């Protein structure tokens, strides 16, 4: 467990670096978390992050990778609708890294 300071607010993260309180999320925070991994968020990253956030809002869980891939394919074209592309954007894995930046909790159970 640790806290980071973002826009003058102290924000609590769990032991894996995910937000403890999902309402603490902001774009600035996403950028800050990414910069800790020496990653600069581009338009392509935001496309994924925004999709994750809107999916979460509707379904209260991160989407299956398959759904994410299909969605990216739909909006960004077949050449980008694959896991390889997502791993290029998020080297630690779209499920882990992108969800963390998007402020989503980590899925648990038999996964």
Partner 1 sequence: MSNLKPDELSRINYTPPEEDWMAVPVQMRKGMYCHGASENSLTTVGFPNPRKWSSADTDWKLPDNWQEIVLKGMAERLEKYRSFHIFMDICVRCGACADKCHFFLGTGDPKNMPVLRAELLRSVYRREFTTAGKILGKLSGSRQLTEDVLKEWWYYFFQCTECRRCSVFCPYGIDTAEITMIARELLNLLGLNIEWIAGPVANCYMKGNHLGLEPHTITSSIDFLLDEIEEVTGVKIEPTFNRKGAEILFVTPSGDLFADPGTYTCMGYLMLFHQLGLDYTWSTYASEGGNFGSFTSNEMGKRLNSKIYAEAKRLGVKWILGGECGHMWRVLNQYMDTWNGPADFLQVPVSPITGTVFENAASTKMVHISEFTADLLKHNKIEIDPSRNDHYKVTYHDSCNPSRGMGLLEEPRYIIKKVCNNFFEMPENTIREKTFCCGSGSGLNASEDMELRLRGGFPRANAVKHVHDKHGVNMLSCICAIDRAALTTLMDYWVPGVKVIGVTELLANAMKMKGENDRETDLRGEPLSGAQDGEEKEDSEDA
Catalytic residue set: 110
In three-state secondary structure terms, 110 is coil
Return the structure tokens found at 11. 């924000």
Stretch that binds partner 1, among 3-11, 13-21, 27-35, 37-45 (CB under 8 A): 13-21
CA–CA distance, 79 with 92 (Å, rounded to integer) = 21
Given the rule CB under 8 A, which of 23-31, 42-50, 54-62, 72-80 is the region that contacts partner 1?
54-62
**Is 84 an interacting residue with respect to partner 1 (CB under 8 A)?**
yes
Quick check: 13 and 19 in contact, CB under 8 A? Answer: yes
Q: Contact 72/86 with Cβ under 8 angstroms?
A: yes
Q: Does 9 bind partner 1 (CB under 8 A)?
A: no
C-beta closer to partner 1: residue 28 or 59: 59
3 binds partner 1 (CB under 8 A): no
For partner 1 (CB under 8 A), the number of binding residues is 27
Residue 17: CB atoms within 10 Å: 17
Backbone angles phi, psi at 32, to 5 degrees: -65, -45
Contact residues toward partner 1 (CB under 8 A) are 1, 14-16, 59-62, 64-67, 69-70, 83-84, 87, 93-96, 106-111
């Amino acid at each position: 467990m640790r806290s980071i300071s973002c826009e003058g607010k102290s924000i609590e993260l769990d032991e894996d670096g995910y937000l403890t309180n999902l309402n603490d999320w902001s774009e600035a925070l996403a950028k800050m978390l990414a910069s800790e991994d020496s990653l600069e968020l581009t338009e392509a990253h935001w496309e994924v992050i925004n999709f994750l956030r809107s999916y979460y809002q509707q379904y209260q869980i991160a989407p299956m990778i398959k759904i994410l891939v299909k969605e990216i394919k739909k909006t960004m074209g077949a050449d980008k609708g694959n896991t390889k592309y997502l791993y290029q954007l998020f080297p630690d894995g779209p499920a882990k890294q992108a969800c963390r930046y998007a402020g989503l909790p980590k899925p648990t159970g038999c996964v």
